[in-house]
Amino acid sequence: MVHFLDEFFWKCFFMLHMNRVGGDYLEFGSGSHTRSFRLAYKYWKLEYRSPRLFAFDSFEGLPEPTGIDAHAQWAKGAMAVPLDEFHARMRQIGAAQDEYTVVPGFYEDTLDKASPSDYGIRQAAMVFVDCDLYASSVSVLRFVKDVVADGCVLAFDDWYCFNGDPLRGEQRAFREFLAAAAGDVAVSEYLDFGWHGKSFIVHRTQNARRFSMRKRRGGGPQRRRSR
């Protein structure tokens, strides 16, 4: 358990650096306090300058939560941070606007109708999902499926919202993502952060298949018998 988001980002960026995981930092949902994106920038400067930093957000708050996304805490427009305010907050920590990329718009336009290559993204080293809703999380995971690197950190900021119900929110979207990507993507649990977040490390292709086979056999790495 990591109690502070700052510590979580430090550990992630240090781990990515040590393991030489290539790719970009992709954040989905950068509103509210702009906290996570500022931390990504901080540890990009301090630990690992390889990733480019991307923020995907409507900058108009949440879309209308409907169906299984209905939640007493969330309403249309909640947690909105206008784009000019986002840039102002980044300037407060010394970030120049050309050091990161912002993709404004609702995901039905920026993700569902686009591919990572449209933004020059070839591989993701870390994906931070903070879009609260099941529908938005589905769009995010479909978008990143083919670019998450072997060793990528895939983090969910609202994992335990909806009382941790596995049939709602980010948990449901992630379970469906893994089922759709079976044989190509597997994961191992990484760090929990705060009361709300959970992260995983991605294993791709042959690594994913070996990892899945090991799990089906009910064991971890095989130990040699002593002679």
Q: Answer yes or no: is pLDDT of 213 > 60.
A: no
Is it the case that residue 55 has pLDDT exceeding 80?
Answer: yes
Residue 122 inside a domain? The answer is yes
- Provide the 10 A C-beta neighbour count for residue 187: 20
DSSP state of 2: B
Tokens for 66, please give them: 């409907």
Residue 221 lies in a domain: no
Can you tell me the mean pLDDT for 46-55? 92
pLDDT in tens, 94-109: 999 999 999 999 999 9
Tell me the residue range of the domain where 206 lies: 5-216
Q: Are 123 and 22 in contact (CB under 8 A)?
A: yes
Q: How many domains does the chain have?
A: 1
The answer as to whether 227 is a domain residue is no
Q: Which two tokens stand for residue 22?
A: 């290539």
Determine the Cα–Cα distance for residues 70 and 77; give it in Å rounded to an integer: 14
Strands 148-156 and 197-204: antiparallel
pTM surpassing 0.85?
yes
164, part of any domain: yes
pLDDT (0 to 100) of residue 209: 54
**CATH code where residue 173 lies:** 3.40.50.150
pLDDT in tens, 161-185: 888 889 998 999 999 999 999 889 9
Contact 208, 186 (CB under 8 A): yes
Q: What is the residue-averaged pLDDT of the chain?
A: 87
Inter-residue contact 200 to 188 (CB < 8 Å): yes
Average pLDDT value for residue range 185-190: 96
pLDDT-based confidence at 84, cuts 50/70/90?
A: very high
Q: What are 112-150's pLDDT values in tens digits?
A: 999 999 999 999 999 999 988 899 999 999 999 999 999
